[in-house]
Chain A
Amino acid sequence: DGGITQSPKYLFRKEGQNVTLSCEQNLNHDAMYWYRQDPGQGLRLIYYSQIVNDFQKGDIAEGYSVSREKKESFPLTVTSAQKNPTAFYLCASSIDLKGRNEQFFGPGTRLTVL
């Protein structure tokens, strides 16, 4: 059963802590993405990766970091430098970065700062 999994579903963070959100896909896709969704603002791109060991900043990368050590995995770390991290985080993938390819999304992780 192919798809994208994200964990945990809910995550609570104390101020000053770093937390890591997991994203795994078994679609054999090269490209992976992280988006952030805030009420009334739609989705915005945080980071994207074209291939293993390569990743690029999106529109709102400040306070976030990623790694891409395996094709299947693209974890996102929310650092203490991110001033307003409370949001819904969505991971996505596509065959590659070519414009014609469909993006598929995971179920999301809701992060709340206490």
Chain B
Amino acid sequence: KQEVTQIPAALSVPEGENLVLNCSFTDSAIYNLQWFRQDPGKGLTSLLLIQSSQREQTSGRLNASLDKSSGRSTLYIAASQPGDSATYLCAVRSGNTGKLIFGQGTTLQVKP
């Protein structure tokens, strides 16, 4: 059974720091991995999608990497800003149902 874990559960950093969020999964047979952002009381915004054949994806100040063999992904945020404060969720897709298996998220606070 696929399980997804995100560490740490919460993170507080000063503005301007570079930071890394971690995501691990137990079954390496995945189609893809998505990183999402969720603001309080809101829906999920897709940040990056990494296909199983890819090693990394970049969008602006965000860079996500994928190491299938070790069951790990990282989300790197460069030069963090207060507007980056949110909960970040990773999810893997590993079956024909299209179902995403989610981690419980990392809540990030960037202090001015």
Contacts and interface: CB of A to CB of B under 8 A. Distances in A.
Interface of A: 4, 6, 31, 33, 35, 40-45, 48, 50, 56, 58-59, 90, 92, 94, 96-108, 110
Given A103-B46, A105-B43, A105-B46, A43 B96 contact: no
Interface residues of A, dominant DSSP: strand
Nearest to A90: B43
B89 A102 contact: no
A103 B43 contact: no
11 contacts: A6-B43, A35-B100, A41-B104, A42-B102, A42-B104, A43-B100, A96-B98, A97-B96, A97-B97, A99-B98, A108-B43
Contact of B103 (A42, A48, A99): A42
Interface residues of B, number: 27
Interface of B: 4, 31-32, 34, 36, 41-46, 49, 51, 89, 91, 93-100, 102-105
B20 to A, nearest CB: 20
Pick the most buried of B32, B44, B46, B104: most chain A CB atoms within 10 A of its CB. Answer: B44
A94 B32 contact: no
Given A48-B97, A56-B97, A107-B42, A100 B89 contact: no
